[in-house]
Amino acid sequence: MSLRTTLLAALLGTAAAPALAQEAREFPATLTAHAQLPGATFLDAPEDAPAYFQRSGRFTAGARVEEPGAITDEVTGLSRPFEGQPLQGFSGIRSLGDDRFLVLTDNGFGSKANSADVILMFNIVSVDWEAGAVNVEETIRLHDPDMVVPFPIIAETTESRYLTGADFDLESIQPVGDHYWLGDEFGPWLIETDSTGRVLQVIATEPAGELIQGPDNAFLSMPNPGGTLPAMMSQRSGGYEGMALSEDGTTLYPLLEKPVFDAATGAAEEVSGRPVLRIFEYDTEGNGWGDRTRYYPLEDAGHAIGDFNIIEGTRALIIERDNGTGDARDGWAETPAEFKRIYLVDLEEADENGVLRKIAYIDLMNIQDPEGLAPRGSVDGVFTFPFVTIEDVDRVDETTIVVANDNNYPFSVGREEGVADDNEMILLDVAEFLTAE
């Protein structure tokens, strides 16, 4: 190809590319409130649950350990199994107004193998920002008395049939009327429940007729070495981390946490030369997948998303993060947090391939705290949110968003060396960011 042809192609490519190629602009974020739920917060198992569920964490050392406190963590010194069910690990959030929030508790202890004694649940909490306290108003536990789940569950033969962290890994939640829709990572599945947490539907991921399954899907039999993988797979811990809901409540937008793996190319998916995450559409009224797929572009192939909520019309917030943890300013973290951002996107602003434009972002490692509101984490008026998994964001009002971490109790250490993280919830003034164009 001649130099002239090369230059012409480059110019045409530039002209054809929409505003997506523009760099997203950074906007300031100012801390206005801080609260936290201690990591060591546990609830009693329901009265109708088997006695087995009165204890949790017995599988976190590999083999079963029944004696309470017999496992000691080398980093934090904490002991397990625990008495009770862990409330920790917020992996999804919706603002309900009046300082009340719907929060989703993660699958337990981080994997299918170690969370079989944790009952899946979500909660309605109220936050006293002045006192810095998070209070539980109501706990809703998932159960399947009608045997809707299409595969055997851990509590299969019990009368209560509570779902556990070995059955699903719930990472996103949306209230629709008096029902709830949840996004799962294992399947990945969509789950609909009634107001009591009773399962009504479990829906496989099959947009436009293309079945996508993850390595932990109950129906996926992984091949022997040298065998053939399914054509398209979500990665482990790469299912529905975020799931937005249209303002009218009729369309869900499930978003994968990591790029899908294409067996044909042997690589993670890229579109327009960038690693991307798929965003699907699901019709809650017609109970069916839409044909349209959008793509969220990652800044780095090693990044993942943490949460996804529509704030107005088709404008939405998406958390994008690296796998680092700990504040580099403290000097103790081996791989400190560097990239923890919240991006503003518009679902109707995409290039010809469906790749969304990143309009603006705020940096969670550069939060202004001029009044010293944070009980810890501020240095010279700059507060950081240095957690490996930041999985909660939603708009609270015209100028404010709420952000929270999934503390992966008792394993994540991001705030203080050798200390297991709490669930921190913060309010940020981001007025300019929310109106960016």
Q: Which domains does the chain have, with CATH numbers?
A: 27-434 (2.115.10)
Tell me the C-alpha distance between 45 and 36, whole Å.
Answer: 23
Query: Model confidence over 335-394: pLDDT tens digits?
Result: 999 999 999 999 999 999 999 999 999 999 999 999 999 999 999 999 999 999 999 999
What is the average pLDDT across 197-215? 94
9: confidence class by pLDDT, cuts 50, 70, 90 = very low
Q: What is the pLDDT of residue 368?
A: 98
Burial status of residue 201 (CB atoms within 10 A of its CB: 0-12, 13-18, 19 or more): middle
Q: What is the pLDDT of residue 154?
A: 98
Q: What is the pLDDT of residue 394?
A: 98
The residue among 242, 244, 251, 240 whose CA lies nearest residue 283 is 251
Q: What is the pLDDT of residue 292?
A: 96
Given a cut of 90, whether residue 5 has pLDDT beyond it is: no
Two tokens, residue 264: 């044909």
Q: What values do phi and psi take at 367, rounded to 5? A: -95, 130
Given a cut of 80, whether residue 15 has pLDDT beyond it is: no
262: confidence class by pLDDT, cuts 50, 70, 90 = confident
Residues 19, 24, 25, 31, CA torsion sign? positive
272: confidence class by pLDDT, cuts 50, 70, 90 = confident
- Is residue 179 within 8 A of residue 193, CB to CB? The reply is yes
Query: Model confidence over 157-200: pLDDT tens digits?
Result: 999 999 999 999 999 999 999 999 999 999 999 999 999 999 99
Given a cut of 70, whether residue 400 has pLDDT beyond it is: yes
The CA-atom distances, in angstroms, between 365 and each of 17, 28, 333, 413 are 31, 11, 15, 16
Query: Model confidence over 293-344: pLDDT tens digits?
Result: 999 999 999 999 999 999 999 999 999 999 999 999 999 999 999 999 999 9
Nearest-5° Cα angle at 256, 214 to 117:
55
Do the bridges between strand 55-56 and strand 423-429 make them parallel or antiparallel, or are there none, so unpaired?
Answer: unpaired
Given a cut of 70, whether residue 2 has pLDDT beyond it is: no
Given a cut of 50, whether residue 18 has pLDDT beyond it is: no
Query: Model confidence over 221-261: pLDDT tens digits?
Result: 777 787 777 766 788 877 899 999 999 999 999 999 999 88
Cβ neighbour number for residue 321 with a 10 Å cutoff: 23
Q: What is the pLDDT of residue 21?
A: 52
Tell me the C-alpha distance between 107 and 81, whole Å.
Answer: 16
Tell me the C-alpha distance between 401 and 394, whole Å.
Answer: 6
Two tokens, residue 149: 């789940």
Given a cut of 50, whether residue 11 has pLDDT beyond it is: no
Q: What is the pLDDT of residue 16?
A: 37
Given a cut of 70, whether residue 87 has pLDDT beyond it is: yes
14: confidence class by pLDDT, cuts 50, 70, 90 = very low
421: confidence class by pLDDT, cuts 50, 70, 90 = very high
Tell me the C-alpha distance between 296 and 339, whole Å.
Answer: 17
Q: What values do phi and psi take at 14, rounded to 5? A: -65, -40
Two tokens, residue 123: 């909660």
The torsion defined by the Cα of 49, 55, 61 and 64, in degrees rounded to 10, comes to -60
Tell me the C-alpha distance between 204 and 193, whole Å.
Answer: 15
Two tokens, residue 84: 């009770």
Query: Model confidence over 98-129: pLDDT tens digits?
Result: 999 999 999 999 899 999 999 999 999 999 99
Given a cut of 50, whether residue 10 has pLDDT beyond it is: no
What does the DSSP 8-state code read for residue 207?
A: G
Given a cut of 60, whether residue 208 has pLDDT beyond it is: yes
What does the DSSP 8-state code read for residue 296?
A: E
Helix (H) or strand (E) holding 409: none
Q: Give residues with Cβ within 8 angstroms of 414, minimum separation 6.
A: 325, 326, 327, 333, 337, 386, 387, 388, 405, 421
User: Which of the listed ranges 12-16, 122-126, 205-209, 272-276 does the model predict with the highest average pLDDT?
Assistant: 122-126
Q: Give residues with Cβ within 8 angstroms of 288, minimum separation 6.
A: 282
Q: What is the pLDDT of residue 179?
A: 98
Q: What is the pLDDT of residue 236?
A: 83
What distance, in Å, lies between the first and last C-alpha atoms of the chain? 39
